[in-house]
Every structure is written in C-alpha cells, then in structure tokens.
C-alpha cells in the first residue's frame, strides 16, 4: 500500500517526491483550471481543486496536489498555447525578475485539508531574439508554466533564484514535508525529533 497519492502526472513532481523515500501512486486530477484570481490565489485554489478531486476517488488515503504559476506583477503566465505565445512570455521575462508561486495541498486520511504557498523570485539574463527562438525550437518550453524549465536548458539563462529551487521546479520540498507531517506522514529520510 503506498504512503500517499500524488494528484499529478508531472514527471518533475514525481521525481521530486521520490527524493523523500515515500511510496506513492499517481492519479492525475482532471479539473477546470480556469480562474480569474491573481497568481498567488490561483495556485492555492487550483491545488485544492486537484487534491479534492482525487481525494473523492480515494477516501481514507493521503492525497498530495500542487500547482505552479510563473507571474510578473501578480499576472500569471501559464503554459504557452503555441510557439508564438512561448516567445512572447520569454521576451517578457528576459532581463527581469519574476515570481514563481507553487501552491501545495494535502488531504489527510480523515479528510483534513492543509494548504500552503511557496514563493520564489527568479531572474533571467537578457536573452537575444536568437536565444529565444533557439530555446523555443527545443520544445522544452511548451508544457511549462512561464515557458521555461529551471532544471532544463533554460537554466543557462537564469542568473539567480531567491527561494526554493524545488518550488520553482514544481514541488517545494520543505513545504511538502511540513504539510505531510500535518497529515501524520513522516518522511523516512528525516529523523523524527524526540521529545
């Protein structure tokens, strides 16, 4: 029996969660992701929708969901619709600071809901038009919030991260640890504090 259910098909979240040593199954949530909320509120609302949708299918099990948005001035940059949209996003981010918000939601075995928000500031170096077009041609930006992946090719354009690198990738491990502890689930690689 797995320790929990990850309500996401994201390979990045799967890789990060596997670092904890916990066993988990995957049941990706299919929810309406449209919202008129600002970026911070949107990620909290969307991760909650995902967690509750999966928890309804698996009563009595711990569920973990997350949602990540890139934003500038609290205006969210989701996944690009096409190559032109990816180029537009990257032009907007080039040479500037922006925020990456990741909301995390857990549902405990007894149905308690715990949510939290991770915020990181990310700075892109100036990207030339050739840099942008070459990067978009790799295909990497097409399924990523903000049209880039910190852990991928885009890492060469990111000059500084202030915050949680795992949060920028899609699952902030310190926050995830805290919320799973609230559900009574201890991460095996972390020794419990004896009182």
pLDDT of residue 76: 87
Question: Which is the catalytic residue, given 27, 67, 82, 130?
Answer: 67
- Band (pLDDT 50/70/90 cuts) for residue 30 is confident
Q: What is the mean pLDDT of residues 111-135?
A: 97
Is 85 among the residues known to form the active site? no
Q: What is the mean pLDDT of residues 121-134?
A: 97
Report how far apart the first and last C-alpha atoms of the chain are (Å, whole number).
29
Q: Using the predicted structure, report yes or no on whether residue 191 has a pLDDT greater than 60.
A: no
- Band (pLDDT 50/70/90 cuts) for residue 145 is confident
Q: Is the pTM of this model over 0.95?
A: no
Convert the pLDDT of each residue in 3-22 to its tens digit: 999 999 999 999 999 999 99
């Amino acid at each position: 029996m797995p320790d929990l259910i990850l309500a996401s098909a994201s390979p990045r979240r799967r890789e990060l969660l596997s670092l904890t040593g916990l066993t988990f199954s995957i049941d990706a949530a299919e929810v309406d992701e449209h919202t008129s909320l600002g970026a911070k509120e949107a990620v909290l609302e969307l991760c909650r929708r995902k967690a509750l949708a999966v928890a309804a299918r698996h009563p009595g099990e711990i569920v973990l969901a997350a949602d990540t948005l890139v934003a500038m001035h609290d205006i969210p940059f989701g996944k690009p619709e096409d190559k032109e949209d990816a180029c537009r996003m990257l032009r907007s981010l080039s040479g500037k600071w922006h925020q990456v918000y990741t909301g995390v939601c857990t549902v405990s075995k007894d149905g308690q809901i715990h949510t939290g928000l991770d915020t990181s500031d990310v700075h892109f170096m100036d990207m030339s038009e050739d840099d942008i077009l070459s990067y978009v041609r790799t295909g990497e930006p097409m399924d990523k919030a903000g049209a880039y992946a910190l852990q991928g090719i885009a890492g060469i354009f990111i000059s500084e991260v202030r915050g949680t690198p795992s949060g920028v990738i899609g699952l902030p491990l310190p926050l995830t640890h805290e919320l799973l502890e609230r559900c009574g689930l201890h991460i095996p690689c972390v020794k419990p504090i004896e009182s």
